[in-house]
Amino acid sequence: MASLVFKVVTLTVKTVAKPLAGQFEKYVMGHPVLRSKVISLAQFIHRVDVRITRGAEGKTGRAFVGDMSEERAVQLASKVASEGFLYSTAIALILIEMERKSVEESEKKRKQLEEAARITALHERHIEQEKSLKADQDQMNQILSRLEERLLMMEEQIMDIRKSQTRRWFGFV
């Protein structure tokens, strides 16, 4: 159930993040310090993009990469701001999911260890009971052996008594 709730919350955050990214973009572009930082980042991305494109085309050597126009830099900067917000939201959701999985795994591991300890204790108790039963059985076997000896001895005595009584009856004594 908790997993389902977490997934619904994650989906909701992803859905809400898109309009929030637009609001974040407006805020960044309206803030003078953040705006200049994001425009500088956009110019840097433009220079890296041009160098990668030149390298992919097989062009070598250093080339002057001019800055983008202000309008184009603002467009790229606003796109960077909104995509950066969405990216950071996605990373936060991934980290939260990883933490949740880690907690679940540690709980599962703890339960497995408890179960293993319970089974080990049960096994040890079983072994002790088996030893006790074996000792009781050995003791009972000894008692039974002594009783059998006594029974044989008593049967011999009864046979001797019967023989002596039989002799008396027939006058052989």
Say what angle helices 32-56 and 2-30 make with each other, to 10 degrees. Answer: 100
**21 inside domain:** yes
* 139 in any annotated domain: no
How many Å apart are CA 154 and CA 167, to the nearest integer?
A: 20
pLDDT of 153 > 90? The answer is yes
| The amino acid at 88 | S
| Count of structural domains within the chain | 1
Whether pLDDT at 112 is above 70? yes
Rounded-to-5 percentages of helix, strand, coil across the chain: 90, 0, 10
- Residue span of the structural domain in which 93 resides: 2-115
Q: Is residue 171 part of a domain?
A: no
Residue range 58-101, pLDDT digits in tens: 777 777 777 777 778 777 887 887 888 888 888 988 899 899 89
Task: Tell me, yes or no, whether 31 lies in a domain.
Answer: yes
* Nearest-angstrom CA–CA distance, 134 and 70: 94
36 vs 157: which has the higher pLDDT: 157
